Amino acid sequence: MSEKESSNCVFVEDMRVSVRIGLLPFEKESPQSLIVSAYAYGDEDYLDLALGGSFIDYARLHDTIAAWEARAHTELLEELAVDLFRAGFAMKDVTRMRIRIGKADIFEKAVQAGIDLTCTRTQWTKKYATLN
C-alpha cells in the first residue's frame, strides 16, 4: 500500500487557538481564532507498530499547535502548516499528513476560511524539509 492509500490515522481535530496572523492591516491589531486539524497517517502496519511501542504521538501535534499562541505575528497560514508538517514528519512512522487551518472570524458570512493541505513524506523530504 502506498503512503497515499493508508487510512491509519492519528489526529488532533478542531483545536482552537488564538494566533497573531494575517496580511491585512486589521489582522495585525489582535490575535485571531484559528481552528486547526492535523491528521498523521501511518502505513498499513501501523497498528502492529503502535502495539509494539512505536506510535505516532498526537500530543506532539497538539503541543505544536498550542505553541503558536506564543509566536510573534505570522503572515501566512502556510507558515503554520510547515511548522506542523515538520513536527509530524519528525515522527518516523508518519507517511502522510493532512492539515486544515481555518480563520474562524475572518468573514461575517463564513464559518471559517483557510487552507487544507496534504503532504506525503516523500514530498516533504524532496521539496520542503529545508524550509525555515
Laid out side by side, the sheet with 32-42 consists of 8-19, 32-42, 96-103, 113-120
**61 in a domain, yes or no?**
yes
**42 in a domain, yes or no?**
yes
User: Could you identify the residue written with the cell 500530543?
Assistant: 59
**31 in a domain, yes or no?**
yes
Q: Work out the end-to-end distance of the chain between its first and last CA atoms, rounded to an integer number of angstroms.
A: 31
Collapse the DSSP code of 33 into the 3-class scheme (helix H, G, I; strand E, B; otherwise coil) and give the result: strand
**2 in a domain, yes or no?**
no
**105 in a domain, yes or no?**
yes
**3 in a domain, yes or no?**
no
Residues 81-110 have pLDDT tens digits of 999 999 999 999 999 999 999 999 999 999
pLDDT at 130 over 80: no
Residue 28's domain comprises 8-128
**CB of 67 within 8 A of CB of 84?**
no
pLDDT at 75 over 70: yes
Q: What CATH number did the domain enclosing 79 receive?
A: 3.30.1130.10
- Amino acid 50: pLDDT: 80
**70 in a domain, yes or no?**
yes
